[in-house]
Amino acid sequence: MSQEETVPSNPDEPRPATAPQPGVTASSDGGTGRRTRRGLLLAIGSLLALGVIGLAYWFFFVRGIVYSDDARIDGTLVDVAPRIQGVILALHAMEGETVARGQTLFELDDTTLVVALERARADVAAAAANLAVANAANAKALHGPRAAEIRIALAAKESADASVHLAISEWERARALSDKHMLSGAERLRVQTALEQAKKTQAEAADRLRLLDEGTRSEDMAGARANVERAQADLAAARASETQAQVNLDYAKVHAPFAGTVVRKWRDAGATVAAGTPVLTILDPSSLHVSANIDEKDLAEVAVGDRVDVSIDAYSGVRLTGRVQAILRATNSQFGLIPSEGVSGTFIKVAQRVPLRITLDHPHAPLDLGPGLSVEIKIRKGSATKQQPAEASRE
């Protein structure tokens, strides 16, 4: 039970002293103030220590660095496709396999291609034979008839003359007998026909001998040359067809354009593919680099050749190094489907992103790196100028 305090009716009357509370001394107010001041000093010291630590971290780890997490591993991906249409006969490489340059990746059915090549070779042989005949005719037209040919034609002419003389004698005898009614009409007609045939043969032999004596005419020589040129063109076309048939046959086997890794299979064996249809996709490990974007406000701080520290999200704790190879001056917004310039009369300023290309010092590191992996980069500003004397000495 607590006792009620009596309040004196007279304000000037002194109030009775109250008994001190248990556990409280007369100096408690001064101790509490000292503890408050000590806590305040400790808090201020902690803040100062954190500030010093933050300043040291900024000085040693943030100062002179351009940071970006808008970055990823990039590289050359090539879709391997046949150059001709065909049916995939067999696949010799699967996803995840490493292939060497020139290694056969897949084959197409070449049955019809082999037949086409044989037909083309036969056409070449026929065209070559036609050219040989045309060359012989042209040579004959250029050099004219041989002496032996003239002698043969002369002998034929003399033989035809003798046959005409004999036929004339037979005809005179037959006509005399016919006038005396001692020869039938049919026999008379036979002798007369024989005489006409002998005269015709004589005229042909005479014309042949005359042509041989005159030599080859200019129009005949031009015709012979034209035949040779046509035969040469036919042979060239046949050889071109043979070459194309051989190329098509070679295209039936598709080889790796470089040493790399198969990252995607698009078609299986037995599928019919058109020319240019991808069957496999290959990654070139030597082309691995980092494609990054930085704020436009940091563009003036970055130069080609600056050193870069690369952290890979897939491999925590792994750090790679590289250098800025190229600064692609056009911002990403220039390649967007929607233009960056406002067309409605309003304007909202948006920070632009500038793309960079960063080469890695060790692209063949024993890591399963591939295009698309997220990374973070730290570009050391001004490190390119520091390396110029060393690079000059190496040159």
Mean pLDDT of the chain: 81
Residue 282 pLDDT greater than 50, yes or no: yes
More confident position, 140 or 169: 169
**Lowest mean pLDDT segment, chosen from 245-249, 252-256, 263-267, 297-301:** 297-301
Tell me the pLDDT tens digit for each residue of 330-342.
776 666 655 556 5
Q: Is 142 helix (H, G, I), strand (E, B) or coil?
A: helix
Tokens of 87: 């049916």
Count of other CB atoms within 10 angstroms of residue 378: 17
Mean pLDDT, residues 124-150: 81
Predicted pLDDT of residue 151: 75
Predicted pLDDT of residue 111: 94
Residue 15 pLDDT greater than 70, yes or no: no
Q: Which domains, and CATH codes, for the chain?
A: 66-75+287-385 (2.40.30.170), 77-110+251-273 (2.40.50.100), 115-248 (no CATH)
Give the largest Cα separation in the chain, rounded: 210
Query: CB within 8 A of 156, min separation 6: which ones?
Result: 205, 208, 209
Instruction: Specify burial of residue 283 (Cβ count, 10 A radius: 0-12, 13-18, 19+).
Output: buried
Residue 73 pLDDT greater than 60, yes or no: yes
Residue 29 pLDDT greater than 60, yes or no: no
Mean pLDDT, residues 147-174: 81
More confident position, 90 or 3: 90
CA 71/CA 311 separation, integer angstroms: 10
Q: What is the pTM of this model?
A: 0.60
Tokens 């005479």 belong to which residue? Answer: 206
CA 129/CA 79 separation, integer angstroms: 45
Predicted pLDDT of residue 347: 62
Q: What is the DSSP string of 333-372?
A: GGGSSS-SS-SSS-------EEEEEEEES-TT-SS---TT
Q: Is 228 helix (H, G, I), strand (E, B) or coil?
A: helix
More confident position, 28 or 298: 298
Residue 11 pLDDT greater than 60, yes or no: no
In the sheet where 253-255 sits, what is the strand order?
253-255, 104-108, 86-91, 272-273
Q: How far is residue 57 from each of residues 53, 309, 319, measured CA to CA in Å?
A: 6, 17, 19
Highest mean pLDDT among 20-29, 180-189, 231-240, 374-383 belongs to 231-240
Mean pLDDT, residues 343-348: 60
More confident position, 23 or 202: 202
Predicted pLDDT of residue 6: 45
For residue 59, what pLDDT band results from cuts at 50, 70 and 90? Answer: low
CA 204/CA 58 separation, integer angstroms: 116
Predicted pLDDT of residue 47: 83
Tell me the pLDDT tens digit for each residue of 118-133.
999 999 999 999 999 9
Tell me the pLDDT tens digit for each residue of 95-110.
999 999 999 999 999 9
Predicted pLDDT of residue 33: 73
Predicted pLDDT of residue 393: 33
Tokens of 383: 């490190």
> Among residues of the chain, what percentage have pLDDT more than 90?
40
> Among residues of the chain, what percentage have pLDDT more than 70?
77
Mean pLDDT, residues 296-312: 90
Mean pLDDT, residues 54-83: 81
